Amino acid sequence: TTGEQIEAAILGQLQTSNIDNSVSWAEENGLERKAVESVIKSLTSDETVTAISSTSVAFKLTPAGDAVLASGSPEFHILVTVAERAAAGNPVSAKDKEAFAAQDKGRAMKSKWIKVDKASGNLVAVADVGEVVDETKVQLSKVFTGKSEEVAGKVMKDLKKRGFVAEVKTVSYAVSKGSNYAPVRQKPKTDLTVEMLASGEWQSLKFKPLNLKAKGRPLTGGYLHPLMKVRTQFREIFLEMGFEEMPTNQFVESSFWNFDSLFQPQQHPARDAHDTFFVSDPARTLTIPADYMERVRKQHEVGGYGSIGYRYDWSEDEARKNILRTHTTAVSSRMLYELAQADEFKPKKYFSIDRVTRNETPDATHLAEFHQVEGLIVDRNVTLGDLIGVLNEFFKKLGIDKLRFKPAYNPYTEPSMEIFSWHEGSGKWLEIGNSGVFRPEMLRPMGMPEDVSCIAWGLSLERPTMIKYGIKNIRDLFGHECSLAFSRTATICDMTLERHPPASAASS
């Protein structure tokens, strides 16, 4: 029987009389209860019919109950066994705990079918197997024949507890004509057309009501990229910790601020064309503070402040070459220089998050541009201990609380530490950042007082974003191969929540 046939049967029935109980009605008409139920639900949706549901509880035998009905209750079997074994000269000892389940044995005793013979200590039958009435079986047969109401409540509870009977709930409906009833269901129209208006047909048609609660279509456009969402998280953590944001709008930088001011020697491999993009027009910068530049030259060539310098001929032309900044430490350097020019030194906590550029061959974990997160604290006598402390606090706010540090080398920091974090998902220590204490060779030529030191750290924004969003290939996150649908559907990123599968390798 199809749904349409059932629908016709129900509507036909309602022409003459209501359906008091859909379950029995279905049975009488040889229809599937479930199929009838779903047609009733559909008919109520447009008020073709009205249906009031009620739930009835029925009982049925479980397979264990069926077995009792077929061959007797456990207590009856005990009586049989006790009698048979006594007759065979192999009586069951009352102490034999294994022979019968205690409960069932208790029932056989209570029914006065068996007892303990004091003299021998054995179980003996006191009732005749052929004559006893197996009450459990009697009650179950009532359930079986649909006369559950004849079983006392307490008894039914016991039968359920013993696993012989199960409860089945059935929902039935009392069905009557609805406000839109018609012997043949009127399918409401979903659209009002020009033709309906022109012909006047609209006046006699039924229309489906507008569903004002339906969800709208997803909007197109105007989505934040996941990387920007993570940037917001980082920014909030820094602000919470009292850091001020540095201006990072200078993507084209001079070699001077990107390298020389950081005491990075001019023959350093990172400076040559393999790692750095040089700008051809304008190729040279004009604005380097002259006196400071001279102090930097001296620092590189012959040293000072306890350092012997690098002992080479420092080239002003090299320092003036314009490049795309390779790290945001160039920004830190400018800010520290500004700070050192003030009449009176003021401690500062600075951060930045922005793009840097490196001449890398793109692969799954590298692009020629990425975002750096950078933080620094400049104050009198800040130490490596402060750095470790602040890194622990910072990463804790990112949901990372197991850190390890490994000695490393940067031209501008001493000591320097790579930062590793334990990643539960991959069961590995992952490198997540780089840090250190800025060298006096960098700070003193700027004019920083001798007792002022600066701790700093940097990491990529892409790496934690890939970890948090479970992205394996950086090109799926950033650049022209990135899927727009991803940024449309990506959720906000709570850094403290664990944790998507990890990205396979570093991105800085």
Site string for ligand PHE, 268-307 (x = CB under 6 A): ----------------------------------------
Site string for ligand PHE, 233-262 (x = CB under 6 A): ------------------------------
Nearer to ligand PHE, 134 or 374 (CB): 374
Where in 473-502 is the site for ligand PHE (CB under 6 A)?
none
Site string for ligand PHE, 87-126 (x = CB under 6 A): ----------------------------------------
Report the alpha-carbon distance of residue 80 to residue 86 in Å, rounded. Answer: 10
How, if at all, do strands 348-357 and 369-380 pair?
antiparallel
Site string for ligand PHE, 374-403 (x = CB under 6 A): x-----------------------------
Interface residue with ligand PHE among 322, 329, 357, 421 (CB under 6 A) is 329
CB of 508 to ligand PHE, least distance (A): 6
- The residue at minimum Cβ distance from ligand PHE is 458
Place of tokens 């590189």: 300
Site string for ligand PHE, 420-459 (x = CB under 6 A): --------------xxx-------------------xxx-
Q: At what angle do helices 226-240 and 462-469 cross, to 10 degrees?
A: 110
Q: Is 167 helix (H, G, I), strand (E, B) or coil?
A: strand
Report the alpha-carbon distance of residue 506 to residue 457 in Å, rounded. Answer: 16
Largest CA distance in the chain: 121
507 binds ligand PHE (CB under 6 A): no
Residue 388: count of CB within 10 angstroms of its CB? 16
CB of 294 to ligand PHE, least distance (A): 25
> H helices within 74-176, ranges in order?
74-87, 102-110, 135-144, 153-161
CB of 291 to ligand PHE, least distance (A): 26
Nearer to ligand PHE, 134 or 260 (CB): 260
CB of 327 to ligand PHE, least distance (A): 4
Q: Return the beta strands (E) in 278-361 as ranges.
A: 322-324, 348-357
410 binds ligand PHE (CB under 6 A): yes
Where in 457-476 is the site for ligand PHE (CB under 6 A)?
457-458
CB of 248 to ligand PHE, least distance (A): 13
Judge whether 346 and 352 are in contact, CB under 8 Å. no
CB of 432 to ligand PHE, least distance (A): 11
Find residue 407's DSSP bridge partners: 417
CB of 333 to ligand PHE, least distance (A): 10
Q: At what angle do helices 74-87 and 102-110 cross, to 10 degrees?
A: 80
Site string for ligand PHE, 147-186 (x = CB under 6 A): ----------------------------------------
End-to-end CA distance of the chain: 67
CB of 410 to ligand PHE, least distance (A): 5
Nearer to ligand PHE, 75 or 374 (CB): 374
CA distances in angstroms from 274 to 270, 277, 319, 361, 400, listed in the order given: 7, 8, 17, 10, 34
Judge whether 35 and 27 are in contact, CB under 8 Å. no
Nearer to ligand PHE, 320 or 327 (CB): 327
Determine the size of the site formed for ligand PHE (CB under 6 A): 12
CA distances in angstroms from 107 to 75, 112, 134, 415, listed in the order given: 6, 9, 11, 83
Nearer to ligand PHE, 83 or 367 (CB): 367
Where in 43-82 is the site for ligand PHE (CB under 6 A)?
none
333 binds ligand PHE (CB under 6 A): no
Find residue 389's DSSP bridge partners: none
Nearer to ligand PHE, 155 or 270 (CB): 270
Nearer to ligand PHE, 285 or 329 (CB): 329
Residue 476: count of CB within 10 angstroms of its CB? 15
Nearer to ligand PHE, 78 or 419 (CB): 419
CB of 332 to ligand PHE, least distance (A): 7
Q: Is 202 helix (H, G, I), strand (E, B) or coil?
A: helix
Q: Return the beta strands (E) in 225-284 as ranges.
A: 244-245, 252-254
Angle subtended at Cα 284 by Cα 280 and Cα 286, rounded to the nearest 5 degrees:
150
Report the alpha-carbon distance of residue 84 to residue 91 in Å, rounded. Answer: 8
Nearer to ligand PHE, 172 or 365 (CB): 365
Nearer to ligand PHE, 327 or 334 (CB): 327
Cα 314 from chain centre: 54
Report the alpha-carbon distance of residue 397 to residue 400 in Å, rounded. Answer: 7
Cα 4 from chain centre: 44
Phi, psi of 440 (to 5 degrees): -60, -30
Nearer to ligand PHE, 46 or 431 (CB): 431
Find residue 458's DSSP bridge partners: 374, 434
Nearer to ligand PHE, 132 or 419 (CB): 419
Nearer to ligand PHE, 122 or 435 (CB): 435
CB of 436 to ligand PHE, least distance (A): 4
DSSP state of 402: -
Angle subtended at Cα 159 by Cα 156 and Cα 160, rounded to the nearest 5 degrees:
90
Which residue ranges make up the site for ligand PHE (CB under 6 A)?
327, 329, 374, 410, 413, 434-436, 456-458, 508
